[in-house]
Amino acid sequence: MNRPGPLSLYPETRGLTRAGFCSINAAVNGRTPGRLPLRPWMAKLLTFPKVNAMAWLAFAVIVFFVRWMFHHNATEALGLTLIVESAGFLLSLSIRPVYDRLGSVFEIRTAVVAVLVSLSAATLISIFTHWVAGLTGWHNPHFTPFENIMLRLLLMWIVFLGWSFGFFWLKAELALRSETQIAEEAVREAHRMELQMLRAQLDPHFLFNSLNGINAEIPAHPEAAAEMVRKLSGYLRYSLDHRKRSVSPLSDELDAMEAYLDIEKARFGERLSVSIKATPEARWRRVPSFLLQPLVENAIKHGLLATRAPMDLTIDAGVAGTDLRITISNTGTFPADASSDGLGLDTLQRRLELHYPRHHDFQLKTQGGSVVAVLILRGEPCCA
């Protein structure tokens, strides 16, 4: 009987790749997202100061060679370029506050303002260039003064129009990026709170069952009850040490299950036989903390408490490629209410969805007189 965990994810996360989903879940441990809405290199460069400086630098290089070609003098071309394009760069910085007041939405009013501001900036630069050329004598010999002014005016109008529309594109892109990050923050916070809630459900549930077991043993077997208290103290100490970890090496998880099963063996004695096996590669793999506890508790609940027969419980873990395969089996039969909530596996399935979105398999079946739970975890957990 197969019982794959459903993928009941938040609506905001539908369509995300595993990398995108894991970047959202990464905030569980206080890490920043692994991916930005923009490509990483673009996200670093896509800021106004950097883009503006690079654009004017590229324009200055092109204009320098054009001036050199017309003036036939590299010194004059370089001097004009340094003076005029530096003035254009400073003028663009003064235009930014004007455009910032127009908002992020590009409308007809925004386009009209951009055209008028670009024309005004081009006029100022043309007059300034004519003044510098007259002061230094660096005139273009191929055109008359009037032609020089008109050509500069047309060229700089086109330049500032391109700069203006590029500015509004950049502004809209950054606004979209900011909104996307805010939305991701909301989803990350929701997932973080859910993981905390799911983890908080585990220890109280286990503690309740253990205390009930100890209480049942006190009248008839006080020494066994005292041993269970000692084992429970050791387990709770382990739990406190791992309370802030969302993931742990499988070796830690197996140690926790061994401590828990020591409590149960003190309670059930020879009725319970336990075997825990794991390859060295599997022991180093990271898994969600206390992931196996619900499965082991169910084995005890439905294997030992439902019958007086002895039970063999086996935990086996191995690695095949990138897959971690964990098998928990116990002798007995599948409970009659397997389709109901009696198995209490909702928490396990939800944690698998959050840590291994679309990269896990969970099966619960009967096989050769045993109930077998199989977990296949592909790759590393998201919240690591």
- pLDDT tens profile 130-141: 888 888 877 777
**Whole-number pLDDT of residue 232:** 79
Share of the chain above pLDDT 70, in %: 75
DSSP 218: T
Indicate whether 109 pLDDT > 80.
yes
**Whole-number pLDDT of residue 16:** 47
Question: What digits encode the pLDDT tens for the residues 249-280?
Answer: 999 889 888 888 888 887 788 889 999 999 99
If you count them, how many residues does the chain have?
Answer: 384
Whether residues 372 and 242 share a domain: the answer is: yes
Cα 170 from Cα 168, distance rounded (Å): 5
Indicate whether 8 pLDDT > 60.
no
Contact 345, 2 (CB under 8 A): no
Residue 245 forms part of a structural domain:
yes
Residue at which a domain ends, from 167, 182, 197: 182
Whether residues 222 and 163 share a domain: the answer is: no
**Whole-number pLDDT of residue 34:** 41
Cα 243 from Cα 252, distance rounded (Å): 13
DSSP 271: G
- Nearest one of 300, 283, 362 to 335, comparing CA atoms: 300
Give the best-scoring range by mean pLDDT among 2-11, 167-176, 271-280, 350-359.
271-280
Whether residues 149 and 277 share a domain: the answer is: no
**Whole-number pLDDT of residue 352:** 86
Whether residues 273 and 162 share a domain: the answer is: no
Indicate whether 30 pLDDT > 70.
no
Residue 46 forms part of a structural domain:
yes
CATH code at position 276: 3.30.565.10
Residue at which a domain ends, from 123, 157, 182: 182
CA atoms within 13 A on the CB side of 94: 11
Confidence of residue 186 (pLDDT cuts 50, 70, 90): low
Indicate whether 24 pLDDT > 60.
no
Indicate whether 246 pLDDT > 70.
yes
Cα 169 from Cα 106, distance rounded (Å): 9
Whether residues 177 and 244 share a domain: the answer is: no
Cα 220 from Cα 222, distance rounded (Å): 6
Higher pLDDT among residues 46 and 145, named by residue = 145
Contact 292, 257 (CB under 8 A): yes
Whether residues 168 and 293 share a domain: the answer is: no
Question: What digits encode the pLDDT tens for the residues 214-235?
Answer: 887 788 888 878 877 887 787 7
Residue at which a domain ends, from 154, 182, 210: 182
Whether residues 130 and 59 share a domain: the answer is: yes
Residue 10 forms part of a structural domain:
no
Residue 1 forms part of a structural domain:
no
Residue 193 forms part of a structural domain:
no
**Whole-number pLDDT of residue 188:** 62
Confidence of residue 329 (pLDDT cuts 50, 70, 90): very high
Residue 51 forms part of a structural domain:
yes
- What range does the domain containing 296 cover? 218-378
Whether residues 167 and 61 share a domain: the answer is: yes
Residue 87 forms part of a structural domain:
yes
Whether residues 261 and 154 share a domain: the answer is: no
Indicate whether 21 pLDDT > 80.
no
**Considering the chain, what is the average pLDDT of its residues?**
77
Residue 34 forms part of a structural domain:
no
Whether residues 171 and 249 share a domain: the answer is: no
Whether residues 166 and 294 share a domain: the answer is: no
CA-to-CA dists, residue 355 to 22, 55, 60, 80, 382, angstroms: 8, 43, 51, 61, 5
Look at 4-8, 67-71, 144-148 and tell me which has the smallest mean pLDDT. Answer: 4-8
Whether residues 96 and 228 share a domain: the answer is: no
Q: How many domains does the chain have?
A: 2
